[in-house]
Structure 1
């Protein structure tokens, strides 16, 4: 190579004064001096040899026509429509990111180019015999000068051809179809709470109702005089019948209240526990119901590559003879190795000929496609029913491939670096990725993570503990009230406390009714006390009226005339006289006279 390019020899004197023939060799007559050759010292290159050679190659590249091989695919290289085509030259028959990138590089370096599609439609893969296919094969065989496409830089390809610096960074992602939004259910109001919470709530409601019923019947302070005006009643009444108790608990549950309220300390403790239980549960239900009504819920069967590898219901694959296939085939990571074993053994085959066919298969449903994240970003901007699952599986880049030891690699890398510094690479990506997108968001993973979730038993289990603790405390207080009641009865008028306790439990369990005969209790002075026998807890509504101070009331009735004149009643006392007029239907009207 040097002998064919050596110019005429030149004679120079060395430092020792002897004449030695030296040859100054150039790459061409237009290129600068790169070194000297002598028979004794052989080749002596100049210190700026690399820079000089690069400048020489750059000058040689100007006005030269390069053959660019690429592969079809959105948005990198697409055929123009009929109305967009021209007959000037072949390169204008295509459009896309790669076409614009080659055009920008050609503007910087000043060369011409022609674009052709790869013959076998493959990126490049080495088979068992060490033979390459696709664009890598055409570069090795000299059918193309450069290969510009969404061609991933890999170790295996780098050993066969040369790559420029990456013009785009990316990683492997998972493309999947969104699940359709579920229509509202008839009982969607039950969604804020899990099913087990609803079961426990109904059980607690019935349990508290029965518990309050028995505690109220067992407590002596819930048996009151049904007629407060009667000083010595014959029987006492308990307002907490089964129907009233059920109405009380359901009124509290619906936060509507009830006209029956507990009187004794034990029933009040139990009621307070039930109220606290309802307060927390209803507040949690209301807050979570608002989230369910405002947040769109999306159910996704897979959230990451780990989820994808642990199931076999949804098949997944990638493009055939691509870098993604090589990544899984050569990976030693357990998850990716398991995924490759599944893809290789699954039938029918999960591998596709191109990204377009892979996307079409994803649209049909029940298929996940593994592809570069840049292509996924482009697709999800235009196909709103698709989205990217999880994070990227790796990190790599796209580069322009050249034949081995090509002098144009460093020159094209410098041009790519200049385009990156000028912001043109970013402008090209925005033009072809986001410029014509119709979807609002390319990724819905954040929406899935931010959706509302039902409250399980672990979230609201504490209120059940509070309710159970309040019920237990109410039992002990109720027993204490009964013992206190028995202590106030003389020993000769009652049995042993345990016997009385068992008798009372039997009376409560057998449900003999809401009334019971009053028990006459003698105090220490032998005076019979009416009611419940507690001087410090008088009967509700009872007033000891002094008959000497009571005013006499007269009621005078006049007969009704035949012409239906109103009846007249006269009520007299010391201060005034009221005349009540009543019509035929006894609707009274009072006036002071």
Structure 2
């Protein structure tokens, strides 16, 4: 410690004299044989500097009786801020020659050196007897400074001008000298006075409501309209606030007062939601809690305040008391309502239109080839090589049903006879196989698109997810993290801002409400893990927290730049962390009566399973088929009844040669087994090979 306080000017005025006297100390050294003004064992070289004398010399000794009165006063002033033992070496080291001499003396016999130093110390102690800036300047028999006081200053960089407290070597001597009672804790020689910047009475603490870190008591009743909220600790019912930060600041107060001996009476001042502090890039000015700390209107800021580089340039942060992760909240897959006919999404609307048009064209070609080909059933029936029933195989209705059945890999009651129709059927079947496989390949991803958010593990997966729309809460911890970061994290922030839709919400409750209302599950909100979990545990329980880690953030207390509270709070937080208090606080649960029930094993293991909502389009189609078949059956029955009234019975299976809806008798002897006869017996004039 150098020249300080009231003795600073006197000390600075006498210090050059001390250096001058130190240069002349060499006059007081002599040998036992021949006194000399030069130190023994040294000579002056051609440059005027002292050099070691190669000749053997005897050990020197100091003649303290030759010390001048002015030198004694100088020594007394210097010794007012240091110990007597260190002074003997300090004075010798102020001059280059003396430094070399001291180095040589250290190599001498230790016993002889201590004896000579003791002579000097006793002489110096007899010369010093006054009260300096650090208290009574006095020494004990060992030469150690006693009954002194050291002032402790606080500040930042070179501006350490705030008196933070002081340390006294003896409390009793301090009380006698000052006529006051020791203000510190009994038995502790260090006193740190409470720091007050904004208010002389209390420490002003700023907090932003952000459940579960900090919130007013009764917030759950107002938000969820619940009564008789139960808490883990009944003693907390009389407190005005609750949350992690509130419990932590109470424990910090205990450490300050019980262990550090510092008064820590604080007063909470609530800020508006989201008023953590944002930087206006156009003006370079901060707002919110950061502005309050910069202007000196507050002493400490607590809550879910993130520690980012841009803020550290404006204010000071304590040590980190909690490190968390960023995740994403989505609608639970079991509660996601897809578009009912999402099963058509694997193919584009143009692909579906082309598929329908191609189906009509192929059906028309089947009818065309079946009607004009000389080797198909119609021409064969005209030549008597096929029955009249077989002649209607590829009519308009039968051609459509033939293309439909082959497309779904179903058999048809008759195969084509001509090679032209067989060739067309082969390529149509190949086309259907390719289309079905491509459709089946993509329909799985369409059905499971609500499950894709579960697979998000890091920022890379988040950026390459083009199904969901990721939003955030404006001026929230996650918002500040992505905004003031670089690389992929900044890309997430740019994606949110550049979206065509407004993906930002002003409060976490509004963001969660938006997630729950998006029945298709496409909107998701990014946030801190505990904030999202607290919201997801609120009823109705339809949210799911996904993502392994989308970023890591740190929570700390903030103080004005240069405030002594920074180091004091950092020490208190470190003590609480070692004791396990912070872990205990983070394990606290608030308002357990509103917590959702734990997921069952079935709900836990079936997050990726298809639900009835995922397959509802298929159910709608089968219901349409069932309803359509009933309607057609009713129409058939009505037509049949009307035909009976007119004396005719219509048939919906047309055959060539039918008259009035009745089956026409066979025109030749050739018949089929449908009439109870063997074709070979009905046509004995035909050879057996004609039926192959």
TM-score computed with the length of structure 1 as normaliser:
0.49
Normalized per residue, which structure has more helix? Answer: 2
Q: TM-score, normalization: structure 2?
A: 0.44
Q: Larger relative contact order (C-alpha < 8 A, sep ≥ 6)?
A: 1
